[in-house]
Copies of this chain bind each other. A is one copy, B any other.
């Protein structure tokens, strides 16, 4: 692995663990046992590292969203899609935990993040439309719009809300609970099948959270 990639990896670990405001470029150099000068040769400080990490995140996320928009055949497929999206967000959670303040301080990221929100919104709508076509969901047009927005809100902020209430919650617990929360949003639109679907989701949650 080249030094540039090693810097990004070390930065990501530190930022996720300590939070964006707590970590300086010097902290990152220290963690790698390289000189600050060596780090500055690759990145002109944190203000270049954060956008580089964001670009890596967005690239991966766009691939996930594009592949996730098609081939949604069942509720289980939707569960897995939600899981993969949230796992990716968890891997870059420093960004979501300080979302507003990072977007304020790195103006280059604000339009990029808006673009990503729109891609997420589009993928969520495609998924829900798939479930409607498969006759799993029956929903009014206006409520479909609000359901898409609720999904988007959950995908963006649910992990944060959990972390505020249960500091240092394990990744697996946080992600599975978020998936459950997102999935239950669709249950009232499943008609008679909603009750069974909900029980299936509860069983899946319990199984996934059981100690291995």
Contact = CB atoms under 8 A, between A and B. Distances in A.
Contacts of A195: 140
A105 interface: yes
B21 A105 contact: yes
A164 B152 CA distance: 13
A101 B21 contact: yes
Nearest to A96: B100
B150 A161 contact: no
B117 A164 contact: yes
B153 A158 contact: yes
Interface residues of A, number: 44
Contacts of A164: 99-100, 103, 110, 113-114, 117
A163 B103 CA distance: 11
A100 B140 contact: no
Nearest to A199: B142
A202 B142 contact: yes
Interface string A88-100: 0000000001111
A133 to B, nearest CB: 20
Contact of A101 (B101, B113, B149, B188): B101
Interface of A: 19-22, 97-101, 103-105, 110, 113-114, 117, 140, 142-143, 146, 149-150, 152-154, 156-158, 160-161, 163-165, 167, 180-181, 184-185, 187-189, 195, 198, 202
